[in-house]
Amino acid sequence: MVNTMDKQTKIGFLFMIFLAVALFVSAEVSALELNPFANSKTFVPELKEDMSDFLKEDFNSKYGVIQLSKTMLWFETDRIAEYSLTENTDQCLINCESKGKAVLYTDGKLFDNKYFLNKKGVEVEIDSQYYIKENETYYEDVPQYKEVCSFVETTSNNTLKEPILKEPISQEVCTQEVVGYDKVEKTREVWNEYNFETLKAGEYEWKIIGSKDISQSVDFIPVAHGKRLNEWAWWNNDWEFKRLINLTANVGNFSYLYEVPYSENMQEDYDDLIFTNKAGTEEFNFTIQSYNSTSAIVRINSLGETEIYMYYGNPLATSASSASDTHFN
């Protein structure tokens, strides 16, 4: 009886030592990670052999890859999913977007939730939506043609006889006429809203779009399989200057041609220009048509507004100019 108690005491003592060591090794451990069977998260800043080929294709060393795995007694077992961030609007005034890829190794949700934190670490609410790229089937009416021929009489000068005679000639003329339509099945890639549905195991392209206040800089944090993916990037606002522009002559017009005089606070190629409505709630599409060292000619899709704001003075910004999004009138 004594020997049995001694063995139980030793086993209990060894287990307590194991538990203490495990907790000591985890320098920063959350309440969830105290669970020896909780999912684990590993941030991989560089390409690794065990990384999915799908993620390697567009690997961005600036953001790395996040791997999620199941655990047993804190030891990783089966891989659950991998996530990468491939593109991000590090500088965005209102409209922000991030794109990435993911691999689900088992059926499950791609994301569980999302959070946004300001620079003080306080959670803020912004209008946002996840999307995933999917193949969509659609049908297109393809015309079916039939060759239709008929004889047409024409006249021709006969230069071999005297006097010149005009003789009728019967000539066959054929044309292609539409005789019906066939519905042909085709596929195309589209971005569909993702609202935390369960997906099949596989490879996915995802994106998140958000609209924040002009004054905000936010850290966007996706949540997947109970883990916050907080290793990635911010949506920053580092524009230092704004100028009120009067477009009185623009009443009723969609777009307006405006000459922007160069300021020493602007980027030399005017890439830091952003235009918004006066309320600061909507960005306008615009196109920089030409520029030099003294000014830039910009066509702004101002939707008929007569007073708008121009933001500039951000050395980190990339151009938001887009000809395809600017309506001409």
Whether residue 219 lies inside any domain: the answer is: yes
pLDDT one-digit tens code per residue, 256-300 = 888 999 999 999 999 999 999 988 889 999 999 999 999 999 999
Q: How far apart are the first and last CA of the chain?
A: 96
Domain count, the chain: 3
Q: Are 274 and 180 in a shared domain? A: no
Q: Are 98 and 230 in a shared domain? A: yes
Whether residue 132 lies inside any domain: the answer is: no
Q: What is residue 10's predicted lDDT score, i.e. its pLDDT? A: 61
Q: Are 227 and 172 in a shared domain? A: no
Whether residue 116 lies inside any domain: the answer is: yes
pLDDT one-digit tens code per residue, 41-72 = 999 999 988 888 999 999 999 999 999 999 87
- Please tell me the distance from the alpha carbon of residue 174 to that of residue 201, in angstroms, as a whole number: 56
- Please tell me the distance from the alpha carbon of residue 280 to that of residue 296, in angstroms, as a whole number: 23
Q: Are 207 and 86 in a shared domain? A: yes
* Mean pLDDT of the region 297-318: 90
- Please tell me the distance from the alpha carbon of residue 40 to that of residue 28, in angstroms, as a whole number: 13
Can you give the length of the chain in residues?
329
Q: What is residue 28's predicted lDDT score, i.e. its pLDDT? A: 40
Residue 166 is part of which domain span? 138-187
- Please tell me the distance from the alpha carbon of residue 313 to that of residue 273, in angstroms, as a whole number: 8
Q: Are 253 and 274 in a shared domain? A: yes
Which residue, 176, 207, 235, sits at the end of a domain? Answer: 235
Q: Residue 227's pLDDT band (boundaries 50, 70, 90)?
A: very high
Q: Are 253 and 201 in a shared domain? A: no
Q: Are 155 and 280 in a shared domain? A: no
Backbone angles phi, psi at 250, to 5 degrees: -95, 5
Query: Are the CB atoms for 278 and 243 separated by under 8 Å?
Result: no
Whether residue 133 lies inside any domain: the answer is: no
Please, what is the Cα angle at 285 between 280 and 286, to 5 degrees? Answer: 115
Q: Are 230 and 245 in a shared domain? A: no
Which residue, 163, 187, 211, sits at the end of a domain? Answer: 187
Q: Are 51 and 111 in a shared domain? A: yes
* Token pair recorded at residue 38: 């909780």
- The answer for residues whose C-beta is within 8 angstroms of residue 138's C-beta and 6 or more apart is 185, 186, 187, 188
Of 99, 97, 88, 100, give the one whose Cα is nearest residue 128: 97
Chain CA centroid to CA 286, Å:
20
Q: Are 91 and 178 in a shared domain? A: no
Q: Are 43 and 100 in a shared domain? A: yes
The helix (H) or strand (E) run that includes residue 87 is strand 75-88
pLDDT one-digit tens code per residue, 100-145 = 999 999 999 999 999 999 988 899 999 999 999 999 999 999 999 9
Q: Are 291 and 226 in a shared domain? A: no
- Please tell me the distance from the alpha carbon of residue 204 to that of residue 202, in angstroms, as a whole number: 7
Whether pLDDT at 36 is above 70: no
